[in-house]
């Protein structure tokens, strides 16, 4: 499980050092995809394969399912961390998420999310109050 918030830097070649506590779990490879909130999602390869199989089950006649699948897979990139624990983030994903040198890596259970620091702070500011005020069941059986 991936937890916490980390602030690694990206080098001039678009490589980012993965937080050390996650490197062993990600050593076998990752898939990077566009996140729906203008972030980059880092999936362990096995987790992405499971997710991809669920996406394939969606009806090909459903316009929204086709669009989602196209955007997800066309922007995906398979990467392997190097000996220093760095992964390359392709240009199109860096541009999509507005990533430059400073990054925020957020653990989100089975995946990591890479955010532009300003975008993450804006998102967090908008969500924390609503989170604190939740009075309805969001996750079935938890509340």
In the prediction, which pLDDT does 141 show? 62
Compute the average pLDDT of residues 49-74: 94
Is the pLDDT score of 30 beyond 60? Answer: yes
Is the pLDDT score of 143 beyond 60? Answer: no
What distance in Å separates the CA atoms of residue 65 and residue 142, rounded to the nearest whole number? Answer: 29
Query: Does any domain span residue 139?
Result: no
92: domain CATH number is 3.40.1550.20
Count of domains in the chain?
Answer: 1
Query: Does any domain span residue 140?
Result: no
Res. 129 pLDDT band, cuts 50 70 90: confident
In the prediction, which pLDDT does 83 show? 94
Query: Does any domain span residue 30?
Result: yes
Is the pLDDT score of 108 beyond 60? Answer: yes
Is the pLDDT score of 142 beyond 70? Answer: no
Minimum mean pLDDT range among 14-18, 23-27, 95-99, 133-137: 133-137
Res. 132 pLDDT band, cuts 50 70 90: confident
Q: Is 89 helix (H, G, I), strand (E, B) or coil?
A: coil
Query: Does any domain span residue 46?
Result: yes
What distance in Å separates the CA atoms of residue 36 and residue 60, rounded to the nearest whole number? Answer: 21
Compute the average pLDDT of residues 31-56: 96
Range of the domain at 73: 5-132
**Residues 36-46 pLDDT 10s:** 999 999 999 99
What distance in Å separates the CA atoms of residue 92 and residue 75, rounded to the nearest whole number? Answer: 8
What distance in Å separates the CA atoms of residue 9 and residue 105, rounded to the nearest whole number? Answer: 10
Query: Does any domain span residue 12?
Result: yes
């Amino acid at each position: 499980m991936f937890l916490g918030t980390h602030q690694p830097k990206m080098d001039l070649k678009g490589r980012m050092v993965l937080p050390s506590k996650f490197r062993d779990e990600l050593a076998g490879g990752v898939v990077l995809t566009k996140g729906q909130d203008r972030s980059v999602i880092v999936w362990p390869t096995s987790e992405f394969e499971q997710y991809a199989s669920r996406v394939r089950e969606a009806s090909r006649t459903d316009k929204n399912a086709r669009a989602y699948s196209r955007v997800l897979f066309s922007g995906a990139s398979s990467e392997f961390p190097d000996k220093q624990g760095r992964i390359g983030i392709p240009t199109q994903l860096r541009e999509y998420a507005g990533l430059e040198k400073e990054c925020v890596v957020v653990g989100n259970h089975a995946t990591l999310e890479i955010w532009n620091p300003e975008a993450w702070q804006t998102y967090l500011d908008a969500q924390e109050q609503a989170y604190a005020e939740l009075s309805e069941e969001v996750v079935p059986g938890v509340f």
